[in-house]
Each structure stands twice: as structure tokens, then as C-alpha cells.
Amino acid sequence: MAHNSFHRSRYGRYAGGPDPLAPPVDLGEALDAIGEDVMAGYSPEHALQEFLRRGGRSQRGLDDLARQVAERRRELLSRHNLDGTFQQVKELLDRAVLNERKQLARDLDDDARFAEMRIEQLPSSPAAAVHELSDYPWRSSDARADYEQIKDLLGREALDQRFAGMKQALENATDEDRERINAMLRDLNALLEKHARGDDSDEDFTRFMEEHGEFFPEHPESIEELLDALAARAAAAQRMRNSLTQEQRDELDALAQNAFGSPDLMQQLGKLDANLQGLRPGEDWSGSQRLEGEQGLGLGDGTGVLQDLADLDALSEQLSQQYAGARMDDVDLDALRRQLGDDAAVDARTLSELERALRQRGYLDRDAEGRLRLSPRAMRQIGQSLMRDIARRLSGRSGRRDMRRSGAAGELSGASRPWEFGDTEPWDVTRSLTNAAVRRAADPDGPRLHLDDVEIRETEARTQAAVALLVDTSFSMAMDGRWVPMKRTALALHHLVRTRFRGDHLQMIGFGRHAQAMEIEELTGLEAEWDKGTNLHHALLLANRHFRRHPSAQPVLLVVTDGEPTAHLEPDGEVFFSYPPHPLTIAYSVRELDASTRLGAQTTIFRLGDDPGLARFLDQLARRCGGRVVAPELDGLGAAVVDGYLSSRSFGTRLYGGPDLAG
């Protein structure tokens, strides 16, 4: 182990924080997927874990990484066995004996005959034979070299079990190199014993590393880091020993006494193992693993495989995220890189940064009971994404104009909104600079002005609207796959009104057996319940109350349903239910629809499903109130409702000036 006198530059992985060359985290895709699951009835915690598990369009998820880990584990178990060192020793011993016999056959003296007899009577056990030949006077130089190679191999393998890479580093080692190893082991044991008593100091560790640091390529920065590395390797060596048969263990113990031709090495290593077990009792010192492949491994390589298997088992648990308090930060990226390569580590790091970004940027927060929920900011982001999709659908229709220009012909409203690509309205300079100042207070190294800081000045529409969105929340909506599209539609309309038509008054009303007004967070988190009844009468009562609260606004009534009314409110407030629909239920519902018409409501009914009876009934309702019926496909429901809202407003024709979405 010669020392290099020249300076060698070392290049490592970037460790100055997040990788500046790493791909950006796509929060939009994650929020869309999480929002979809939340609207389907899952908790935000479950939805977040599901996205991390599935991954994104171009992002592998935890399931993919866990599958790779399992495949890697199966590969190690099926490829290797632990007989490598035994096979190597036997081959060297057989070759040494064969070369010695050849030399003895050429020698004619009596001593040669006695030597032949000794060779013939060697034990069948390689370990016993190696011990028997420890004082044998070899006549063949080739035989002597093979026998010395056995002792050298055993010493290097024993060291490689505790110090990875030592087998290669000590190849062709000199006596001086071996003495330096022994000195290192003595000093190491002394340091560990001192640490166990609590008598060591930082200077002791520094002095040890200055003298013996070349043996520790991990470059530990403290004695605790040194202990962690040594104990993990030693525990893997013990698990390898546990994995051998009793016969193999006995053979190994006998062979080890001849390592480097002296028992001193094994004595020091035995003391080291005892020190490490005392200082790190939490390591797995008692486990074992059967390897039944065809490729034999030496002691050091076998220990490395056992260590790899331990890494893979730990990674499997970390990637499962099934234990209490699990976080993506728990995943050991260095171990993942060692086992699966750089791409896997990048994928895991991206998922971890995504989870962290969702929490730190305020997309996830906790309610009064401590449960995780989507924040209002997240709801706005998801609504914005839904509106972009709806805008693409509507922009292809003849004569349609971009919804972002809505109200541009009016007076300045004093309100502003975030800039989006394609906006031509003037900047709200005050709000934009304020946003930049607030952001830089949290991130002083960030840019002076970022696109996310920019807000534009809005103009208000010349006419306000009182909008009532009535969505059917009966169980049939969930049973027939209409639950999530209904919620996405409500969220998209909510986002449009809150960002483009802030002067409008939107009321969302869900109606099943009863009807109730809901905030957007309540509606999107609503779980489907098995309860009979489609109470359109109650929903229309609430809608008309909303219209009367805003007498100067244009009433807009939007109804999304997949069934005829089967329930109504009695005068005493009790619910009456009947299927098929009772004539009284129909009469109550029609009466409230007539009241909406008298208030001037522009009505659009969105029919889901292909029931001919429902189609006839809703067509009659539309003719009665001068409204219209739209029968969109589920994936076009959001675009249909938004188009119905815009077309129903008194200035909707000016904005779009084209055919409606009913076609």
C-alpha cells in the first residue's frame, strides 16, 4: 500500500442544498391528481400518498421504486452463494499439493518419501489440511507460493468483512502493510473502549483519523459516524456467518487461525466485533439469509451482499410509507443510489421535494381538528387548472372569445388578479411590487421581480349576476361515476366567478334527500351517502332565497341532475319521498321553478344520463321556464356549465356571440 506523493483532486456529488440542475417539481399535476382523489371522497392525506405511490406522467412513483428494490433483492438471492472463499481455498490447496507431489516424485532421497507419506495422509477437510501444513517444509516453490496465498487470502477476506475494499487494497501487501493494519486495529479498539467508558474526546478521534484515515474511505466526521459505518458492516458479517451451515462455520473458524500466518489478526477482529456489538446493540446481529445461486462469494463480497440486502429491506419499508409518521424525507437517497442508480435517487428526491413543496407553499394545511386538508390556495390552483381545460374546449367553438377578457370593456373595478400568459391588461404596479417585497422577505436571494408577483388590473362587468348552481348529490351520481365530474364542474365555476366575475354572487346548492347551501371546500370534500331522494324542490327554494337577497343582480339558475324529483319539503319541514315521483312532488318543484322564472332567472338544466323519461320531463320544465336543456358528456360537463353561465348573463352574448354548447 504505497503512499501517493502527488495531489489528487476529488470530485463528489453536489452537496450545497437542492441540486440546481434537478428537473422542476410539477406541483400542478400533483394538485390536479390530489384534488381528483379528494373530490372522489378520499382524505387529503390518502390522496397525497396515492399520488406519491403512483407518480406522474413522466415521474416514477414509490410503487415503481419499490418494485425495483424487490427485483434487485430477488436477483441477489438467486445469483449468489456463500461458498466462494471455501472454493478458492480448496483450489489453491489442491494446486499446492499437486505441485508438491510432482516435485517429490523427482526427488530420490528418503526425506522425500517421508514427505510423500505426510502429503498422502492429509485430512479431507481443507481447514485441517491447511493447519497441518503450517510447518511443512515445501520443496516446490510454486506449492509454497500457493500455500502462502491461502494465508494472505484468508487475512484479506477477514479484513474485507469489516472494512469494505480491503481485499483489493491489500493485494500483494508487504509485512510493513500488515503491521500498519494491526496497529490500526489496536488503536481502533483502544478508541472504542475509551468511548464506551465515556473518556474519549474529539481530539482522540481527530488524532486517530490523522494517523489511520486512509483505511476509512467514508471519511467519517465524528466517532458516531465511524461507529455507524463499522457496526453496519460488522453486523452484516455476523449475519453472513449466521447464514452458513455449522460445518461451514467450523471450517471457517479453523481457516481463520491461519490468516496472515498468525492468530493475532483474528484476535483483534474478535475484540472489534465485541466492542461494536456493545456500542451498537440495535444493529441486526442475529439475522441470517440463505443465498442459493451459482456464483460463489468470498467473505468480504458475501458481507457486502448481506449489507446490500439490509439496505434493500430498509428501502422497501421506507418506500412503503406505511409506518406511523412516514415522510418522504425518510427515504435514504444514498442507499437508493447505491442499489438502483442515479435515476432512482432523482425520482425519489423529486417526490420528496414535491411533498415538501406542497406543505411549505401553503397548498396543504390543517383544520381545527388537526386533519390535513387542501388549502384555499390549492383550491384556486386546481380551479385554475380546470378553467384552462375548459377554455381550451370553448376556444375551438366559432365566435368564442377568451374568458380572461371578460368585462374588459367596463370600468376599472379596483380589483386585480395574477397575470397569465396572453393577458394584455395593464399591470397593477402597486400590488405587483408588494408581492415581490413580501416574497423577497422570505427569500432574500430570490429575483427582484418574478412572473408570479405580477398582477393585472381588472375591469368590472356592466351587469352583475346572482348565480345559483344546483348539483344533484343523490347516491346515483356517485354510483354512475358522475360524482367527481360534478365536483370539478362546481370548482371550475367557482374559480371563474371568483377570479373573472368578482361582482357576481355565486351560491352552490347540493340536493339529495335534503338540499343545503355549501362552500366550495365543503362541496369538493363531500362524501357520497346512501340516502333515497332527489329534492329539487328544496334546492329551488334555496336558490330563490339567494336571488331575492340580490334583487339588482341578474338571476342565473344552473341545475345539474341525473334524475327526476323524488322528494319535496312538506310545510312542517319534513321530507316526503316517493318513487316513482309523486304528482305532489312534481307540483311543488314546478311551483318553485315558476317562482324562479318570475324573478327573471335565466335557466339551464344539465341532464346526465340517457333516461328517456328524464329527458322528456326536463324538456317540459325548460319549455315552461323559457330555459334550455343541455345533455353533455361527462368529460364536457364543466365546459357546458361554464358556457351556460356565461350565455345566461345579460352580457353573455356580447362576450361570446356564438352558438351555445347544447349544439
Residue pLDDT, tens place only, 25-81: 567 777 777 777 777 666 677 778 888 888 887 788 899 999 999 999 888 888 877
Q: Provide Rg for the chain, Cα atoms.
A: 39
Task: Read off the pLDDT of each residue in 499-513 and give the average, rounded to a whole number.
Answer: 89
At residue 548, does pLDDT exceed 50? yes
At residue 596, does pLDDT exceed 90? yes
> Chain-wide mean pLDDT for the chain?
81
Q: Count other Cβ atoms within 10 Å, centred on residue 370.
A: 6
pLDDT at 260: 64
**Cell numbers for 460:** 368590472
pLDDT at 657: 32
User: What pLDDT, in 10s, does the model give residues 343-356?
Assistant: 898 888 888 888 78
3-state secondary structure of 472: strand
How does residue 306 score in pLDDT terms, banded at 50, 70 and 90? confident
Stated as kind and residue range, the H or E segment containing 365 is strand 364-366
Helix, strand, coil percentages for the chain (3-state, nearest 5): 60, 10, 30
Q: Kindly report the backbone phi and psi dihedral angles of residue 551, in degrees, each rounded to the nearest multiple of 5, phi listed first.
A: -65, -25
In the chain, where the domains are located: 27-79+312-374, 83-290, 411-459, 465-656
pLDDT at 17: 47
Q: Which of 96, 196, 85, 76 is nearest to 141 (CA)?
A: 96
pLDDT at 247: 81
At residue 270, does pLDDT exceed 90? no
**Cell numbers for 526:** 363531500
Stated as kind and residue range, the H or E segment containing 649 is none
pLDDT at 309: 86
Task: Read off the pLDDT of each residue in 559-580 and give the average, rounded to a whole number.
Answer: 92
How does residue 443 score in pLDDT terms, banded at 50, 70 and 90? confident
Which position has the higher pLDDT, 134 or 281?
A: 281
At residue 21, does pLDDT exceed 60? no
How does residue 638 score in pLDDT terms, banded at 50, 70 and 90? confident
Q: Is the pTM of the predicted complex or chain greater than 0.85?
A: no
At residue 544, does pLDDT exceed 90? yes
At residue 427, does pLDDT exceed 70? yes
| 15-19, 90-94, 566-570: least confidently modelled range | 15-19
pLDDT at 9: 46
Q: Are 52 and 496 in contact (CB under 8 A)?
A: no
Classify domain 465-656 at the CATH topology level. Rossmann fold (3.40.50)
At residue 402, does pLDDT exceed 60? no
pLDDT at 304: 82
N- to C-terminal Cα distance for the chain?
Answer: 84
Stated as kind and residue range, the H or E segment containing 20 is none
b/e code 336-346 from CB counts within 10 Å (16+ = b): bbebbeeebbb
Q: Count other Cβ atoms within 10 Å, centred on residue 647.
A: 20
pLDDT at 651: 42
At residue 20, does pLDDT exceed 50? no
pLDDT at 8: 45
At residue 515, does pLDDT exceed 90? yes
At residue 429, does pLDDT exceed 90? no
- Alpha carbons 654 and 407: distance in angstroms, whole number: 10
| 128-137, 458-467, 585-594: least confidently modelled range | 458-467
pLDDT at 406: 43
Stated as kind and residue range, the H or E segment containing 507 is strand 505-511
pLDDT at 413: 60
pLDDT at 398: 42
pLDDT at 423: 63
pLDDT exceeding 90 applies to what percent of the chain? 26
b/e code 536-573 from CB counts within 10 Å (16+ = b): bbbbbbbbbebbeebeebbbbbbbbbbbbbbbbbeeee
3-state secondary structure of 343: helix
Q: Count other Cβ atoms within 10 Å, centred on residue 475.
A: 17
pLDDT at 418: 83
How does residue 16 score in pLDDT terms, banded at 50, 70 and 90? very low
Q: Which of 535, 532, 560 is nearest to 642 (CA)?
A: 560
How does residue 624 score in pLDDT terms, banded at 50, 70 and 90? very high
